[in-house]
Amino acid sequence: MTKTGATMADWLAHNGLTPALCSSILQLHPDLSAASELKAGTDPTSYTTQEAWELCARAASSRLPELEDAVHRVLNAAQVNFFPDLARYPRAFTLHDNGKGVPYISCPWQGCQNDLLTLAHEFGHALQIVASEERRMPPVLRETCASQSELWFIAELKKSDPTLSEKLARVFESRANYTFTRVEPELRAALTKPDQQYQYQWNYPLAQSLAWQFEQQLENGTMVSVFQNLRSTEELVTALTT
């Protein structure tokens, strides 16, 4: 889907969604209204970039051992730039191919706890890219995979650094609540307007809802097929609600 000129109708079609399906996904979102404000996460972290990157991989391997080959490919072959030109690339992003057949990740590193979750998010994108091979994933599921990787990172950290794990869990909730509060009403209003200009942020509240539910309800085999982009959002939501 091209960004220029894309509309709500295009986005729904591209993701295999309908307004009704979006509403039911949004209803699955946990109530995070008690989450603290978005100020956590700026404390420094003692993890180096390499340690954090390896932890992302360990988290994914522990959670989905079936994806180990893809995890190793991301860990050992993907190109990560922790120090991009901030004037040009202030925000983290992941590209499918660095020109040599592996993902390119740009993830500005300032050495704070927030960076750990951002890196885990981008690791999830790289993993979904490698696992799905040439099957380009639509954005709602793409962001769902990235959010799951953040949750895995928090779970993995619990084994070695429970205090930081707990803190990052709060940061995750706080970020999710911030996004949901801001974007969900906008998305709901836009669902009734097929010609509304597409906004990438619409993907996030849906992805957050799905990531939580997938973690709680999906079996490993199904989860693997999500990362391989072999499932439609509709069939996954049906599996959740029945």
Q: Note the residues at the interface with Zn ion (CB under 5 A).
A: 143, 146
Measured from the CB of residue 90, what is the shortest distance to Zn ion in angstroms? Answer: 15
The smaller minimum CB distance to Zn ion, of residues 79 and 161, is found at 79
What 3 state SS string does 5-47 have? CCEHHHHHHHHCCCHHHHHHHHHCCCCCCCCCCCCCCCCECCC
Measured from the CB of residue 192, what is the shortest distance to Zn ion in angstroms? Answer: 26
Q: How close are the terminal C-alpha atoms of the chain, in Å?
A: 31
DSSP 105: E
The smaller minimum CB distance to Zn ion, of residues 83 and 93, is found at 93
Q: Torsion over CA of 15, 16, 22 and 24, rounded to 10 degrees?
A: -130
148 in Cβ contact with 124 (< 8 Å): yes
The smaller minimum CB distance to Zn ion, of residues 159 and 182, is found at 182
The smaller minimum CB distance to Zn ion, of residues 143 and 156, is found at 143
The smaller minimum CB distance to Zn ion, of residues 32 and 92, is found at 92
Measured from the CB of residue 26, what is the shortest distance to Zn ion in angstroms? Answer: 18
The smaller minimum CB distance to Zn ion, of residues 34 and 147, is found at 147
Measured from the CB of residue 145, what is the shortest distance to Zn ion in angstroms? Answer: 9
Measured from the CB of residue 95, what is the shortest distance to Zn ion in angstroms? Answer: 12
Task: Tell me the residue number closest to Zn ion, measured at CB.
Answer: 146
How far is CA 176 from each of CA 65, 184, 235, rounded to the nearest angstrom? 27, 11, 24
Phi, psi of 228 (to 5 degrees): -85, 0
Measured from the CB of residue 93, what is the shortest distance to Zn ion in angstroms? Answer: 8
Distance CA 186, CA 199 (A): 10
- Helix/strand/coil for 106: strand
Beta bridge partners of residue 112, listed in sequence order: 44
